[in-house]
Amino acid sequence: MKGWDRFFCRQREVTKDRPCAAAPEAMGTLELSPSGIAHMGRLSDRLEKLAGRRIAPVSERVADDIRHR
């Protein structure tokens, strides 16, 4: 199993019994799946339709104080 597949399955397992259903619902709505890394362009298009936000590539590590706002 590749890295994305392991990550996705782990996140799905970790979030399934949480009181907030937002994470599993978001995975479904954004059409994320354990079958490989999502195509970022298509994922960004779906995210923009849902939330008005796009995924932006970065060439360097994003500092913690920026990432967790």
DSSP secondary structure string for all residues of 23-50: HHHHHHHTT--SSSPPPHHHHHHHHHHH
For 3-45, write each residue's pLDDT tens digit: 878 887 888 888 877 777 777 788 788 887 767 778 888 889 9
What is the domain range of residue 30? 3-67
d(CA 64, CA 61): 9
Smallest CA-to-CA distance from 50 within 22, 18, 10 is with 22
Structure tokens at 49: 């339709």
Number of domains composing the chain:
1
pLDDT-derived band at 2, boundaries 50, 70, 90: confident
DSSP, res 61:
P
Task: Extract long-range pairs of 24-27: CB within 8 Å, 24+ residues apart.
Answer: none
